Structures are given as structure tokens and as C-alpha cells.
Amino acid sequence: MKEEAPLLEYNEVTIESRGLMIPVKLKLSDQGIAFRNVRTGKLETLQCNEVDVVNWQRIAGEYGIRIFASNGNLYRFGGFKDSDQSKIEKYFKLACEKTMTEKEFSVKGWNYGNAKFEGGVLSFEVSHAPAFEIPINNVSSCVTGKNEVTLEFHQHDDAAVSLTEMRFYIPPSELA
Amino acid sequence: KGKKVDSKLRKSTVSYKSASLLPKDSEVLNLKLHVDRKFETVILPVYGLPVPFHISMIKNISQSVEGDYTYLRINFFHPGSNIGRGEASFPNPEAIFVKELTYRSTNTKEHGEISAPSSNLNMAFRLIKEVQKRFKTREMEEKEKED
């Protein structure tokens, strides 16, 4: 007999939104993934068949779940403990038939690498591991100049510190 | 002596050998700017992730106050920018470089806050300068020993 997927509820976790970790209540059940914004009460859901990739990753200094959806959107939940990993891994295995792998991010501290696009996500990779990811819907404008690209970002008024602009140097060969 | 400096590549120092070495400071957890003096690294929040940048990658920084906000701009070394004494070449000329990051913070203190959010940018500005100065002094001393 097939083992049933566990029901997991996390009432004190967060979701990344425009650079801010927003408190949500997350429920992982055989119905899929549901998360409710604690402040607004807004409920969002994801079905298993919408999950393309699921990872366990470092986020906001702690651990979290990274879901790359088949529509190209990125969902990242934070505020988890080390000990949550195996339970969540089991959930995705049984409910969604997905293997939750660990996604390592570069901590080398280098400012040069490679920019890759996948779905709605720009990933900056430093020697084969991403250093950071930018969900493209945060970009308010993109300007290209000589050997450079400037991204400006939508601002979140609730954030204590927010990233407003990022400028890249693009080598001449890339522009050719 | 001679011109051997020309062939010397700009060395890239690694900030952390593993993610477990990243400081668990409240600034890091709360996605603020943090300066790790021990590892000479600046940790900058980028969409949920605290991202380390080694002090040797930073060319210069500037701060400005515009209206209710403080801005901190961090300029990184990249090809085409003057990389200082030695004019060493970059290890990877085909790479894309993060050239500049700008952060913004409000100067207005909310009710109940001890200090305005922009104090984080002020502190980062001061500490980056301090660590940069220490790093440059040491680099120069090492160069003098080599010569």
C-alpha cells in the first residue's frame, strides 16, 4: 500500500516578497501547498503538478524551501529549522513525487561570474554555484549602456533596507 | 625587479569556505547589511539571500541623503576600472561583473524604534571603510616585502 503523505503545518514561517520576508502560515497536504499571508489573510495555493523543482536552501540566514513553478515563478519560504528538512523532503516525495535536493549558493564572495535566465528568474553564478537569484518581476526598468546593464527595482516601503539598483559589467564579446 | 607584475593575475580571496561559516548575526537574519570584520567580507541582502562580497572586490563606496532616504552605493572592481597599483589583469575577462549595488533606507524613525533604519547603512559605510583601509594597508605591506 502506498504510504500517505504527511500533513505539515508551519504557522511561523515566511515567504520572500520584493526582498522582504513576509509572515505566512504554510500548509503542506495531499491537496497541495497552501500559504496564507498572516497580515492580509490572502490565501494562495500551488498544486503538485505546478511544482517543477523543489529545493532546500539557505534563505535570510536560515533554511527554507525553494519552489520553482512550471510557469517560471519562484516561491521561497524561510524560517525553517535543520530538523524540518527530512519531513518536508518526505512530503514532496510522497505527495508530489518530487525529490527535494539541496541547493548550494556560492559564498566565495566574488563579484564576477555568469548570468543565467530560467523562467522568471535571473541567476548570477560564481564558479558553477549561484550567488544570488533575482525574480525578474522585481525589476522596474532595465537600461543598457556601453558594456553595462542597469537594473532598477520596485521598492518595498516596509523594508528597512532595500536594493534599488544593480549594475552589471558585460564584456565586449558578450555584446557582439 | 623588472616587469613581472604585468603577468601577475589579480588574486581572488575566498570569503567563506562553506556556508556554515556565515555569521548568524541578527543583521544577516533580518536582511540588513553586515560587515564581517573577521573574514573581511561585506554581506549584502539580495532578494532574501545574504550574499557575501569580499572586501577586495569593492572599489569604493559612497553615501548620500536625498529627502527622507539614505542611499549607499557600492562600486566593485571590474575590467575597465582602474584597479590600482600593479594594474594586474582580471582572472576571468569573459565573465560578467557585478559593477554596482545601491541600497536605500528611510531616515524616519518609526514609533518604538531606537534608531532609524538608515543607521544600518551609516554603520555599514563606516565599517566597510575601516575594513577596506586595514586590507589595503596589509596588501601594501606585503607588496613591499616582496620587492
Distance from CA of B47 to the nearest CA of A (A): 4
B101 close to B73: Cβ distance less than 8 angstroms = yes
In chain A, the residue whose alpha carbon lies closest to the alpha carbon of B31 is A60
Q: For residue range A102-160, what is the model confidence (pLDDT) as tens digits? A: 999 999 999 999 999 999 999 999 988 999 999 999 999 999 998 999 999 998 888 88
- Residue B8 falls inside a structural domain: no
Domains of chain A, each with CATH number or no CATH: 8-102 (2.30.29.30), 114-175 (2.30.29.220)
Distance from CA of B1 to the nearest CA of A (A): 30
ipTM: 0.94
pLDDT value for B82: 61
Number of domains in chain B: 1
d(CA B47, CA B39): 23
Domain ranges, residue B80: 59-146
- Residue B45 falls inside a structural domain: no
- Residue B10 falls inside a structural domain: no
In chain B, the residue whose alpha carbon lies closest to the alpha carbon of A110 is B53
Name the A residues in 36-75 with CB < 8 Å from any B CB.
58-62
Mean pLDDT score across all residues of chain A:
94
pLDDT in tens, chain B (147 residues): 333 443 445 567 899 999 999 999 999 999 999 999 999 999 999 999 999 999 999 999 999 999 999 999 999 999 877 655 444 567 777 899 999 999 999 999 887 888 999 999 999 999 999 999 999 999 899 888 887
Chain A interface test: which of B31, B55, B109 (most A C-beta within 10 Å):
B31
Share of chain A above pLDDT 90, in %: 88
- Residue B23 falls inside a structural domain: no
Distance from CA of A6 to the nearest CA of B (A): 28
- Residue B102 falls inside a structural domain: yes
- Residue B103 falls inside a structural domain: yes
DSSP string, chain A: -PPPPPPEEEEEEEEEETTEEEEEEEEEETTEEEEEETTT--EEEE-GGGEEEEEEEEETTEEEEEEEETTS-EEEEEEE-TTHHHHHHHHHHHHH----EEEP---S--SEEEEEEETTEEEEEETTEEEEEEEGGGEEEEEEETTEEEEEE---TT-SEEEEEEEEE--HHHH-
- Residue B84 falls inside a structural domain: yes
Question: Higher model confidence: residue B111 or residue A40?
Answer: A40
Tell me the three cell numbers of residue A153. Answer: 527595482
- Residue B106 falls inside a structural domain: yes
Tell me the three cell numbers of residue B144. Answer: 613591499
